Amino acid sequence: QSALTQPPSASGSPGQSVTISCTGTSSDVGGYNYVSWYQQHPGKAPKLMIYEVSKRPSGVPDRFSGSKSGNTASLTVSGLQAEDEADYYCSSYAGSNNFGVFGTGTKVTVL
């Protein structure tokens, strides 16, 4: 099972928006509505930001939103803030045989 493809980096100025893509196949992203996104600051454990493609857990700012079209999922961070600078990983369920797969990760820099 290959990792989902994410751009290595993305950036934006404070207040701007940044969108991160996560491309898989019809066997994972395109086949299930179980795409989640995680934020990881250096030296810390990841944190769930989006689940089931577009749902936000309690406590996650509504600046974070998720969507999916075909085999590509996206995470958008609106109104960028300094604390949003982190690595972001997508994840998708890939069926009972292939289990689950993470994306390659994207480093978001707030300029």
Partner 1 sequence: EVQLVQSGAEVKKPGESLKISCKGSGYSFTSYWIGWVRQMPGKGLEWMGIIYPGDSDTRYSPSFQGQVTISADKSISTAYLQWSSLKASDTAMYYCVKAPTAMVEADYWGQGTLVTVSS
91 binds partner 1 (CB under 8 A): yes
Structure tokens at 37: 């996104």
Angle at 67 between CA 50 and CA 57, to 5 degrees: 20
Chain-centroid distance, C-alpha 55: 12
Minimum Å gap between C-beta 73 and partner 1 is: 13
10 binds partner 1 (CB under 8 A): no
Query: In angstroms, rounded to a whole number, what is the distance separating the alpha carbons of residues 86 and 96?
Result: 31
Minimum Å gap between C-beta 79 and partner 1 is: 24
Q: Using CB under 8 A as the criterion, which residues of the chain lie in contact with partner 1 when the complex forms?
A: 1, 3, 32, 34, 36, 38, 45-48, 51-52, 57, 89, 91, 93, 96-105
